[in-house]
Amino acid sequence: MKGLFPIISVLAGLAVVPLVAHSNVTLNFLVVALMIALAGQGWNILGGYGGQYSFGHAAFFGTGAYVTAILQMRYGVNAWIAFACGIAASAALGAFLGALTFRSGLRGSYFALVTLAFAEVLRIIASVAPITGAGVGTLLKLDLGVRTLQFQSRAVFYWIILALVGISLVATRLIERSRFGVWLIAVRENEDAAKALGVNANGVKMAAMLISAAMTATAGCFYAQYFLFVDSGIAYGTWISIQALLTPIIGGVGTVFGPLLGALVVKLLGECAKLLAGDAPGLDLIIYGGVLVLVIWFVPRGLIGGLLHLHSLILRRSGPAAPPMEEARHG
Give the residues lining the site for other proteins (CB under 8 A): 51, 53, 55, 100-101, 104-106, 108-110, 112-114, 116-117, 120-121, 124-125, 128, 238, 242, 245, 249, 280-283, 285-286, 288-294, 296-297, 300
Centre a 10 Å sphere on the Cβ of residue 99 and count the other Cβ atoms it contains.
13
Question: Nearer Cβ to other proteins, position 55 or 60?
Answer: 55
Minimum distance between the CB of residue 308 and other proteins, rounded to whole angstroms?
A: 18
Residue 22 CA to residue 16 CA, distance in Å, equals 11
Question: Nearer Cβ to other proteins, position 31 or 114?
Answer: 114
Minimum distance between the CB of residue 7 and other proteins, rounded to whole angstroms?
A: 27
Backbone angles phi, psi at 229, to 5 degrees: -150, 135
Minimum distance between the CB of residue 129 and other proteins, rounded to whole angstroms?
A: 11
Question: Nearer Cβ to other proteins, position 18 or 48?
Answer: 48
Residue 253: helix, strand or coil by DSSP?
A: coil
Q: Tell me the DSSP string of 159-215.
A: HHHHHHHHHHHHHHHHHHHSHHHHHHHHHHH-HHHHHHTT--HHHHHHHHHHHHHHH
Question: Nearer Cβ to other proteins, position 21 or 292?
Answer: 292
Question: Nearer Cβ to other proteins, position 212 or 238?
Answer: 238
Residue 114 CA to residue 303 CA, distance in Å, equals 29
Minimum distance between the CB of residue 306 and other proteins, rounded to whole angstroms?
A: 14
Question: Nearer Cβ to other proteins, position 88 or 291?
Answer: 291
Question: Nearer Cβ to other proteins, position 108 or 203?
Answer: 108
Residue 322: helix, strand or coil by DSSP?
A: coil
Minimum distance between the CB of residue 326 and other proteins, rounded to whole angstroms?
A: 30
Is residue 200 a contact partner of residue 84, using CB atoms and an 8 Å limit?
Answer: no
Minimum distance between the CB of residue 245 and other proteins, rounded to whole angstroms?
A: 7
Q: Of 305, 304, 325, 326, which is closest to residue 316 (Cα–Cα)? A: 326
Strand bridging mode 229-230 / 138-139: antiparallel
Residue 133: helix, strand or coil by DSSP?
A: coil
Minimum distance between the CB of residue 119 and other proteins, rounded to whole angstroms?
A: 11
